[in-house]
Amino acid sequence: MSTGRKIRILAAKPGLDGHDRGIKVICHALRDAGMEVIYTGLRQTPEQIVSTAVQEDVDVIAMSVLSGAHDYLFPRVMDLVREKGLKDVLVVGGGIIPEEDIPALKSVGISEIFGPGTYTSDIIRYIQDNVQSKS
Amino acid sequence: MCDSEKLNALKAKQQAWQEKAEAKLAKAPERKKAFTTISEIPVERIYTPADIADQDYEQELAFPGEYPFTRGVQPTMYRGRFWTMRQYAGFASAEESNRRYKYLLEQGQTGLSVAFDLPTQIGYDSDHPLSQGEVGKVGVAIDSLADMETLFDGIPLDKVSTSMTINAPAAILLAMYIGVAEKQGVSSKELNGTIQNDILKEYSSRGTYIFPPLPSLRIITNIFEYCSSEVPKWNTISISGYHIREAGSTAVQEVAFTLANGLAYVEAAQKAGLSVDTIGPRLSFFFNAHLDFLEEIAKYRAARRLWAKLMKERFGAKDPRTMMVRFHTQTAGCSLTAQQPKNNIVRVAYQALSAVLGGTQSLHTNSMDEALSLPTEEAVQVALRTQQIVAYETGVTETVDPLAGSYYIEHLTKTIEEKAMDYIRQIDELGGAAMAIEKGFIQKEIQESAYHYQKAIETGDRVVVGLNKFQVQEPPPRNLLRVDLQVQEMQKQKLIRLRDVRNNEKVQACLAELKKTAQGTENLLPAILEAVRAYATLGEICDTLRSVFGEYTAVSTL
């Protein structure tokens, strides 16, 4: 990735889940790593998330769901990402996501799923290694 | 020798001992330069009578069941009766959850604890667009009284006590519970149980808010008032530190922010004309049982003493029951690891033991698989057995507050009380808990602690067994409990049938009446109860209230 601009990340909480400890910790860590982070706050619909991603011209969408609704919400976000033509945006997810759900989520275009216990440093490295340069 | 001479002699000896011990440090250093609790309270090498020399037994500890209740809220504690063993449960449909409740009661559980799904907690019916993907996932989906009737089918409501984790729509779910009781021929006056009904921690830590603070506090005080005459045995609120801790707070912050929220509720009730001794005895609390065993025991004791003093000194409470912190405990979900999940059984056992040594009134022990999914029946059984082993086998229940008088425990109890009080003063200066949340103060404090904790894990300063030390390669877990999207379809079908068979004119009339009540100042409960009896849905009732009260917008703290 070139040094043209900072990596811009949309951190999002899709659905009704209120567990935001993890995503807030990650936002903090990503900022400390020099990235620009926009946090949506709670209760975002997939439509709101993708529309914010377009407006903010982000490189990454990072979603967190701990309610078990990832099986509906993550694919829905990916449908909209494709619909809006956000080809270069890296989409990652995290939360309480059973291992057996991961292949299906990756098959619709989620690049990586981070489970409980993941280090923020691993997430930072993954994003740095995989984000598409826009500059 | 008089006491102070004795104390000075002791201090001198301790000094000499300290020097001797430190002389050896060059050769045999301690594991760390400085020791602290998990909440960063410094921990000394030893504690002695000197550390609690200024503690007056009768003032600060007294006897169990007596002010300031440091040693417990009942004189006999577990010699009389064990705590209520109450596993939080609920998922998918009312039918499925009803089966799980009956299973738990057969296994010797002594109270029910209902988990609702997120649409129910946020006041949306299962067919609402925002409910999509969430129906039945983290709890049971309840759309109307009909679902509630199914949920408690065959469970006599005059015999069980039921705790419901419901906040913004607490009045509606309580009304539904009363509605089910009516059908069973049970009077509301006989009902035992708890609604969480603690909106302030939803804004700061848990996220299932609907309305802004002012109307929310009105609903809460309406519940206090209604229950004081109509459901007198009901715990009308469970002021919850649990979620504050889960969101990342320290033990001190957990005590401080919980009690500060409690103060805000008492003040709101007083403004509504309810006396502190009318509502005080029905206030209950809910704390977390985290990893630092001794700190947790001290935390519960500190919370009891501090609340008792606040009620007496700040509000002039006269009724001892107003001053008592009666509390439920749940072991810390955030302390569980997805790695080597069986280790969680051991974590939970120590956490449960700390809650019992701290004098809890009821307890939920987490299941080993909760970092992965909803618990399986087998995992829940082990969790319940963990409590039963503490109760029946360990012997810690045979005397009251067995750790009282430990130099360390008493010192730590006092430290937590003082540090929590410092926070409460700060919150007072900000204008109370609701204002402190509005200004983002409480959220920021919690966020900072959470980040600090995570960094300590990543640097290895804090060891988490199986996560950053003693790792193994393991296959992905199998046989996790899942709720499939079918449940949502079933709920939608039920709603279509319900709207078909109920008297829709009556529903509309009840909702219109509720709207009028909401616009005025009368108690909302009778109108809510009428709407519930007419099978108005949860979503319809909440939408009616939304149309008058508006919705809360979270403050950004990042």
3-class secondary structure, B128: coil
The most distant pair of C-alpha atoms in chain B lies apart, rounded to whole Å, by 87
Q: Which domain holds residue B414?
A: 57-459
Share of chain B above pLDDT 70, in %: 100
Closest of B548, B556, B532 to residue B143, by C-alpha: B532
A43:B138 CB<8 A: no
Residue B144 φ then ψ, to 5°: -155, 175
Chain A hits for B200, CB-CB cut-off 8 Å, are none
pLDDT at residue B35 tops 90: yes
Q: Which of B117, B138, B166, B486 to mutate to test the interface with A (most CBs of A within 10 A)?
A: B138
B133:A73 CB<8 A: yes
Cα–Cα distance for residue pair A68/A98, rounded to 1 Å: 9
Average pLDDT over residues B354-379: 95
A19:B207 CB<8 A: yes
Cα–Cα distance for residue pair B377/B264, rounded to 1 Å: 39
What is the structure's pLDDT at B425?
98
The closest CB to that of A72, out of B133, B373, B447, belongs to B133
On whether the CB atoms of residues B158 and B177 are closer than 8 A, the answer is no
Which residues fall within 8 angstroms of residue A85, CB to CB, at 6 or more apart? none
Q: Which residues pair with B113 in a beta bridge?
A: B88, B163
What is the structure's pLDDT at B476?
85
Q: Is A74 on the interface with B (CB under 8 A)?
A: no
pLDDT at residue A47 tops 90: yes
Q: Is B451 on the interface with A (CB under 8 A)?
A: yes
To the question of pTM greater than 0.95 for the whole model, the response is yes
What is the structure's pLDDT at B110?
84
Share of chain B above pLDDT 90, in %: 94
What is the structure's pLDDT at B1?
60
Minimum distance, in Å, between the CA of residue A39 and any CA atom of chain B: 7
In a domain, B48, yes or no: no
Tell me which H or E stretch contains B161.
strand B161-164
Chain B hits for A19, CB-CB cut-off 8 Å, are 207
pLDDT digit string, tens, across residues B422-431: 999 999 999 9
pLDDT digit string, tens, across residues B261-315: 999 999 999 999 999 999 999 999 999 999 999 999 999 999 999 999 999 999 9
Q: CB A2: neighbour CB atoms within 10 A? A: 7
Chain A hits for B447, CB-CB cut-off 8 Å, are 24-25, 28
Chain A residues 76-115 with CB within 8 Å of chain B: 76, 96, 98-100, 115
pLDDT digit string, tens, across residues B320-348: 999 999 999 999 999 999 999 999 999 99
Which residues fall within 8 angstroms of residue B5, CB to CB, at 6 or more apart? none
Q: Which of A13, A17, A20, A97 to mutate to test the interface with B (most CBs of B within 10 A)?
A: A20
Closest of B174, B308, B275 to residue B231, by C-alpha: B174
B558:A39 CB<8 A: yes
Minimum distance, in Å, between the CA of residue B125 and any CA atom of chain A: 13
Average pLDDT over residues B197-219: 98
Identify the closest residue of chain B to A44 by CA–CA distance. Answer: B130
Look-up of token digits 């007198």? B232
In a domain, B267, yes or no: yes
Cα–Cα distance for residue pair B137/B47, rounded to 1 Å: 48
Cα–Cα distance for residue pair B469/B158, rounded to 1 Å: 50
User: In the numeric block, which tokens belong to residue B115?
Assistant: 């988990």
Residue-averaged pLDDT of chain B: 96
Cα–Cα distance for residue pair A38/A34, rounded to 1 Å: 13
A29:B248 CB<8 A: no
- Spell out the domains of chain A, with CATH numbers in brackets: 8-130 (3.40.50.280)
Closest of A27, A16, A25, A12 to residue A68, by C-alpha: A16
Q: Which of A24, A42, A119, A120 to mutate to test the interface with B (most CBs of B within 10 A)?
A: A24
On whether the CB atoms of residues B286 and B239 are closer than 8 A, the answer is yes
pLDDT level of residue A134 (50, 70, 90 thresholds): low
Minimum distance, in Å, between the CA of residue B481 and any CA atom of chain A: 10
A29:B451 CB<8 A: yes
Burial (Cβ within 10 Å: 0-12, 13-18, ≥19) of residue B473:
exposed
Q: CATH code at B248?
A: 3.20.20.240
Chain A hits for B121, CB-CB cut-off 8 Å, are 16
Minimum distance, in Å, between the CA of residue B338 and any CA atom of chain A: 6
Identify the closest residue of chain B to A29 by CA–CA distance. Answer: B451
A71:B206 CB<8 A: no
pLDDT digit string, tens, across residues B123-174: 999 999 999 999 999 999 999 999 999 999 999 999 999 999 999 999 999 9
Q: Report how far apart, in Å, the C-alpha atoms of B449 and of each of A133, B303, B462, B542 are.
A: 34, 20, 14, 35
pLDDT at residue A1 tops 60: no
User: In the numeric block, which tokens belong to residue B91?
Assistant: 């998922």
Identify the closest residue of chain B to A13 by CA–CA distance. Answer: B207
In a domain, B555, yes or no: no
In a domain, B189, yes or no: yes
Burial (Cβ within 10 Å: 0-12, 13-18, ≥19) of residue B212:
middle
In a domain, B491, yes or no: no
Q: Is the peptide bond before A46 cis (omega within 30 degrees of 0)?
A: no
B118:A16 CB<8 A: yes
On whether the CB atoms of residues B286 and B341 are closer than 8 A, the answer is no
The closest CB to that of A24, out of B450, B457, B485, belongs to B450
User: In the numeric block, which tokens belong to residue B74?
Assistant: 């009942």
In a domain, B498, yes or no: no
Return the exposure string of B251-274: e unless at least 16 CB atoms fall within 10 Å of the residue's CB, then b.
Answer: bbbbbbbbbbbbbbbbbbbeebeb
Cα–Cα distance for residue pair B104/B377, rounded to 1 Å: 9
pLDDT digit string, tens, across residues A15-44: 999 999 999 999 999 999 999 999 999 999
On whether the CB atoms of residues A17 and A63 are closer than 8 A, the answer is no
The most distant pair of C-alpha atoms in chain A lies apart, rounded to whole Å, by 38
What is the structure's pLDDT at B367?
97
Residue-averaged pLDDT of chain A: 94
pLDDT level of residue A3 (50, 70, 90 thresholds): low
Q: Which of A10, A16, A44, A47 to mutate to test the interface with B (most CBs of B within 10 A)?
A: A16
pLDDT at residue B207 tops 90: yes
Chain B residues 110-149 with CB within 8 Å of chain A: 118-119, 121-122, 124, 129-134, 137-138
Q: Is A125 on the interface with B (CB under 8 A)?
A: no
Q: Is A117 on the interface with B (CB under 8 A)?
A: yes
Cα–Cα distance for residue pair A76/A45, rounded to 1 Å: 9
Cα–Cα distance for residue pair B451/A135, rounded to 1 Å: 31
Q: Is A15 on the interface with B (CB under 8 A)?
A: yes
Q: Is B528 on the interface with A (CB under 8 A)?
A: no
Cα–Cα distance for residue pair B425/B310, rounded to 1 Å: 12
First-to-final CA distance of chain A: 9
In a domain, B23, yes or no: no
In a domain, B507, yes or no: no
Average pLDDT over residues B514-532: 98
Q: Report how far apart, in Å, the C-alpha atoms of A58 and of each of A35, A133, B108 are.
A: 11, 11, 53
On whether the CB atoms of residues B272 and B236 are closer than 8 A, the answer is no
pLDDT level of residue B506 (50, 70, 90 thresholds): very high
A72:B132 CB<8 A: yes
The closest CB to that of A21, out of B450, B464, B485, belongs to B450
Least confident span in B23-27, B268-272, B441-445, B453-457: B23-27
Query: Domains in chain B: how many in total?
Result: 1
Sheet holding B283-289, edge to edge: B84-85, B362-364, B327-331, B283-289, B237-240
